[in-house]
Amino acid sequence: MFDFQHTILKTMKIFNTFLLLLFVSTCFSQTTDESTIRQIYNKALGEGKSYSMLDYLSNKIGSRLSGSPGAAAAVEWSRHTMEDFDFDSVWLQPVMVPHWVRGQKETGRIVNSRKMGTVEVNVCALGGSVGTGPEGIVASIIEVKNFDELAQLGTKGVQGRIVFFNRPMDPAQINTFAAYGGAVNQRGSGASEAAKYGAVGVLVRSMGSNSEDYPHTGGLRYAPNVPQIPALAISTKHADLLSKILKEDKGVQFYMESHCEILEDAPSFNVVGELRGSEYKDQVIVVGGHLDSWDLAQGAHDDGAGCVQSIEVLRILKSMGYKPKRTLRAVMFMNEENGGRGGAKYAEMAMKTKNKHIAAIESDRGGFTPRGFTISADTATRRKIQQWKPLLEPYGLTDFSQEGGGADIGPLAPQGTALIGFLPDSQRYFNYHHTQADTFDKVDKRELELGSASMAALVYLIDKYGLK
Amino acid sequence: MFDFQHTILKTMKIFNTFLLLLFVSTCFSQTTDESTIRQIYNKALGEGKSYSMLDYLSNKIGSRLSGSPGAAAAVEWSRHTMEDFDFDSVWLQPVMVPHWVRGQKETGRIVNSRKMGTVEVNVCALGGSVGTGPEGIVASIIEVKNFDELAQLGTKGVQGRIVFFNRPMDPAQINTFAAYGGAVNQRGSGASEAAKYGAVGVLVRSMGSNSEDYPHTGGLRYAPNVPQIPALAISTKHADLLSKILKEDKGVQFYMESHCEILEDAPSFNVVGELRGSEYKDQVIVVGGHLDSWDLAQGAHDDGAGCVQSIEVLRILKSMGYKPKRTLRAVMFMNEENGGRGGAKYAEMAMKTKNKHIAAIESDRGGFTPRGFTISADTATRRKIQQWKPLLEPYGLTDFSQEGGGADIGPLAPQGTALIGFLPDSQRYFNYHHTQADTFDKVDKRELELGSASMAALVYLIDKYGLK
């Protein structure tokens, strides 16, 4: 009996000591993480560089469509910037990119409406569209809301006409990306869908959240074996006007003129900056954005923000004297907007090395206040990331529930890489997206900096604990 | 044995039926609430009026400091607007308000610095300050970061000088209101603190989050039995410049000139719109903002947003055909900025009636993306509101953890009213607060509308379920 009691007491003592040690080590680790993350935010908000970097990229370089002089300047700027921050290595990764040019400004004109006569409207060619040439196209115009309505009209109703796709982004969607997803097939596939029935051109309502004066460009994809017809975006305000005129005056004609051209593929680069891992240097964590932008804008939110935030993640960690266990890379992907060649090339090169990309985080939803991260990964990995939520919630990062990675990091999926999307507030993104309004002054300094810090905090946790 | 089993079975059956009924009623109610709240958001985002109301209030009426013609116009506009929406009743509640006028534009000048000579800086008088008169004040200037430093200088260091309070808002605070709270005593009490030691004037670093060209005004309070000395705010950019100059050149002088005056109290009004309750009409739920603004700005975020959102809450519920059980009131409080007389008057009148104010929601943190609500109430009430979180989270409302109500509804506390603050994202608020930059174009339509819907959803839940 005595022995038995003694054994129990001894076991309890050992167990209590174990519990105490567990408690202490958990607290210590929790406290270390809390204070490291606090330090990351202090650096980003108190002595951050993302805002001044974005100022330069937006105001000194400006638009940077693949193959343009701006894109070349942005490549050199990224390289120099990361070299100046003294990252362990910085290199260029060659990639051939599509080369589309807009040419002189487009014309869109409602011709001979009964009540308003001839009305100039604000339009721009969709990226990748063929031009009308200097003679333009004039034809009667028919409004549809979706491809079903188009199919019902058939060749009889569409042949020789311009098709006007006018389904708005649904304002009732709380997430504006969901509203975009519900409308963007008109822009991406509308031209080829209409061409199947003999349309001579298409006019697409801009992918904008509000009533605006300026049009939103963006890429289209021509389907194989269908005539390539010219496609313009029209501002949401003028789309509403045209729709109103068409209700009263179905016979109205439309004149469109565009001068865009598809040139030969051009040489360009992804730009990669690296902090080498001290323990597992063959394990790579990527944080990235895309360096190219549409030609109409400075691309401050899309995706200058993502680029400078990615550079800032490495800069902050380095400036804290943090020695990563794993290799951290900031990647400026080229050609997200009209081809995705940079993302594909990066993944292709990654497959050729012994490196294992354990995680990739993309920022391509603008430089707005952080709300969380989207995660595309196996269940265990997803749960592991979600378990860090208590460390990140004090910084407003509350949403870890959605799936999703990013266009540029998607090609890493076959490596088993956890694909993570930085998720900022979405309300203002589609005011600016792909337009002349996507300028530096639309970016708030603190919102941008909080994004850098959020990404750095997550990179720190993945680096420290791994994902398995 | 048989009987016993039978009794158990019977009891279980009854219990199961009860559970089933509970389940069905919970589901049904949950579904009704979900669909009602969805409908509220659809109304706000699809056919909302808050943005056009704010356009008028900001661009047609503009600034509306208590006692000004703008304030009078805003009172009339609020009344007409709510009458046009056909609320059950709309009335004005008379209140006497302080009447302070800025007079001609202020001057701030760094005099005879060794390196830069004389430098004009951007300043404005703090609200409620006395003026210097046309001769201005010129004196040597001494920088302090807080009242402790001031006390250490004492009369010997301060007498006859201008005190420059230059403690910035802490950029590392995630919540900018916390950063504001950590700095604003310089503005509110700096003048009287400095006057205790014989200062002749004070210059206060603007309460702004960033480096900016324009100054932020805001109220000061003179302590009793201390000389009232003139107080100016200086832009954050010029505060940094002045600090730099003072480091190199301690003998530099400063010239300040302001023409503000405190006039006699003026008559004004709170404006109240009401939808009468069908079951408990003596129970009142208030939703409100303050109608007055500082004179330098349109007061679009502060607090035009809160006013139009409050009107919109009632308009949305009415337009849905919703019949409130309790009485709902939209209250435009007068004089939050420099006296709080409207809030005090409203509470005083509320005490005189048989009405029981069960809850009051104030929106006075700008028209930004909603993040949640702050709650000042007893524990049971707070828990009851927090239990509605699952219904509100899909709309981005995730933060129900903080204490807080609002300046205008605070005086209702002795009634046992649950005081609730609408909590939007705080990052951009102190870019605009109390400045010339607080204009309509700084407000995003969707962000504003989401705020109206969030408040309407909470009002609906409180009205339906009560708070006890």
**Please, which residues have CB within 8 angstroms of residue B137's CB and are 6 or more apart in sequence?**
B162, B200, B201, B230, B255, B256, B257
Instruction: For chain B, count helices (H), then strands (E).
Output: 13, 15
Nearest by CB: B210 against A171, A209, A445: A445
Per the CB < 8 Å rule, is A427 touching B209? no
Section A138-165 average pLDDT: 98
pLDDT at B2: 46
Q: Do A101 and A264 touch, CB atoms closer than 8 A?
A: no
A45 touches chain B (CB under 8 A): yes
Q: Does B431 contact A444 at a Cβ distance shorter than 8 Å?
A: yes
Task: Write down the domain spans for chain A.
Answer: 36-100+264-465, 106-259
- When CB atoms are compared, the residue of A399, A428, A446 closest to B427 is A446
Confidence of residue A408 (pLDDT cuts 50, 70, 90): very high
Residues in chain A within 8 Å Cβ distance of B176: 446
Contact B260, B65 (CB under 8 A): no
Q: How many A×B Cβ pairs under 8 Å?
A: 63
- What fold is seen in the domain A36-100+264-465? Aminopeptidase (3.40.630)
Q: What is the DSSP string of B251-289?
A: T-EEEEE---EEEEEEEEEEEEEEE--SSEEEEEEEEEE
Contact list, B444 vs chain A (CB under 8 Å) = 427-428, 431
The CATH number for A106-259, chosen from 3.20.20.60, 3.40.470.10, 3.40.50.1370, 3.50.30.30, is 3.50.30.30
- B/e letters for B277-298, b = 16+ CB within 10 Å, e = fewer, are beeeeebbbbbbbbbbbbbbbb
B419 vs chain A: nearest CA distance in angstroms? Answer: 23
B386-415 residues touching A, CB cutoff 8 A: 394-396, 398-399
Percentage, residues of chain A above pLDDT 70: 94
Q: What per-residue confidence (pLDDT) applies to A25?
A: 52
pLDDT of A458 strictly over 90: yes
Is residue A7 very low, low, confident or very high in pLDDT (cuts 50, 70, 90)?
low
d(CA B286, CA B283): 10
Q: Which of A37, A38, A50, A174 would best serve as a mutation to test chain B binding (most B beta carbons within 10 A)?
A: A174
Write down the pLDDT at residue B1.
43
Q: How far is A213 from chain B (nearest CA, A)?
A: 15
Reported pTM? 0.93
User: What's at A86, amino acid-wise?
Assistant: D
Contact of B442 with chain A, judged by CB distance below 8 Å, is answered with no
pLDDT, residue A1, reads 42
Strands (E), B323-379: 326-333, 356-362, 370-376
Query: Is the Cβ of B439 closer than 8 Å to some Cβ of chain A?
Result: no
Q: B137-174: per-residue pLDDT in tens?
A: 999 999 999 999 999 999 999 999 999 999 999 999 99
Give the tokens for residue A188. Answer: 């991406």
pLDDT at A13 exceeding the cut of 80? no
Cβ-defined contact of A171 to B447 (cutoff 8 Å)? no
Q: What is the amino acid identity at position B36?
A: T
d(CA B435, CA B414): 34
Listed residue (B380, B387, B389, B386) closest to B416, CA to CA: B380
Tokens representing residue B34 in the block: 């979900």
Tell me the CA distances in angstroms from A438 to A214, A227, A233, A293, one per residue in order: 11, 33, 16, 10
pLDDT for A22 beyond 60: no
Q: Show residues of chain A in contact with B369, CB under 8 Å.
A: 369, 425, 427
Q: Is A431 on the interface with B (CB under 8 A)?
A: yes
Partner-chain residue, chosen from A174, A396, A425, that has the shortest CB–CB distance to B395: A174
Determine the distance in angstroms separating the CA of B18 from the nearest CA of chain A, rounded to an integer: 34
- List the catalytic residue out of B257, B274, B336, B337: B336
- Check CB contact of B371 with chain A, cutoff 8 Å: yes
Give A354's pLDDT tier (boundaries 50, 70, 90). confident
Chain A residues whose beta carbon lies within 8 Å of the beta carbon of residue B371: 396
- Cβ contacts of residue A105 below 8 Å, gap of 6+? none
- Residues of chain B predicted below pLDDT 50: 1-2, 4, 24
CB atoms A172 and B42 under 8 Å: yes
A174 contacts B450? CB cut-off 8 A: yes
Stretch among A82-96, A396-410, B25-39, B52-66 having the lowest mean pLDDT: B25-39
Distances (CA, A) of B352 to A344, B92, B348, B415: 72, 16, 7, 11
Helix A69-84 vs helix A305-319: angle between axes, to the nearest 10 degrees?
10
CA distance B58 to B76: 14
Q: How far is A40 from chain B (nearest CA, A)?
A: 10
Chain A residues inside the 8 Å CB shell of B397: none
* Closest chain A CA to residue B44: A172
Q: Of 3.20.20.70, 3.50.30.30, 3.40.228.10, 2.60.40.10, which CATH number belongs to B103-259?
A: 3.50.30.30
Within 8 A of A42 by CB-CB distance, chain B residues are 172
Report the residue of A393, A427, A440 to disrupt the B interface, i.e. the one with the largest count of B CBs within 10 Å.
Answer: A427
| Cα(B383)–Cα(A296) distance, integer angstroms | 51
CATH level 3 topology of B38-100+264-465: Aminopeptidase (3.40.630)
* CA–CA min distance A79, chain B (Å): 29
B25-34 residue pLDDT tens: 555 577 899 9
Interface check B159 vs A, CB under 8 A = no
> Radius of gyration over alpha carbons of chain B, in Å?
26
Nearest in space to A413 (alpha carbons), one of A387, A375, A386: A375
Q: Say if strands A231-234 and B231-234 run parallel, antiparallel, or are unpaired.
A: unpaired
Instruction: Say if B45 is an interface residue toward chain A (CB within 8 Å).
Output: yes
Lookup: tokens for B16: 């199961």
CB atoms within 10 A of CB A133: 11
Q: Which residues of A touch B209 (CB under 8 A)?
A: 445-446
Is some CB atom of chain B closer than 8 A to the CB atom of A371?
Answer: yes
Q: How confident is the model at residue A8 (pLDDT cuts 50, 70, 90)?
A: low
Q: Identify the band that residue A250 occupies on the pLDDT scale cut at 50, 70 and 90.
A: confident
Give the residue ranges of DSSP H helices in B108-235.
147-158, 176-181, 185-196
Please indicate whether, in this complex, the C-beta atoms of A176 and B446 are within 8 angstroms of each other: yes
Instruction: Check if A88 contacts B (Cβ < 8 Å).
Output: no
**What's the number of CA atoms in the CB half-sphere (13 Å) around residue A97?**
30
Q: What is the set of active-site residues of A?
A: 336
Judged by a CB distance cut-off of 8 A, whether residue B450 touches chain A is yes
A446 interfacial to chain B (CB closer than 8 Å): yes
Mutate to test the interface with A, among B50, B55, B174, B450 (most CBs of A within 10 A): B174
Q: What does the pLDDT read at residue A2?
A: 46
Q: Evaluate if residue A19 carries a pLDDT over 80.
A: no
Measure CA of the first residue to CA of the last residue in chain A; give whole Å: 46
Q: Does B447 touch chain A (CB under 8 A)?
A: yes
Which of B371, B399, B450 has its CB closest to that of A427? B450
Residue with tokens 């266009």: A407
Pick the residue of B49, B237, B427 with the most A CBs within 10 A to test the interface with A by mutation: B427
Determine, for residues A446 and B428 on separate chains, whether the beta-carbon distance falls below 8 Å: yes
In chain B, residues 341-370 whose CB comes closer than 8 Å to chain A? 369
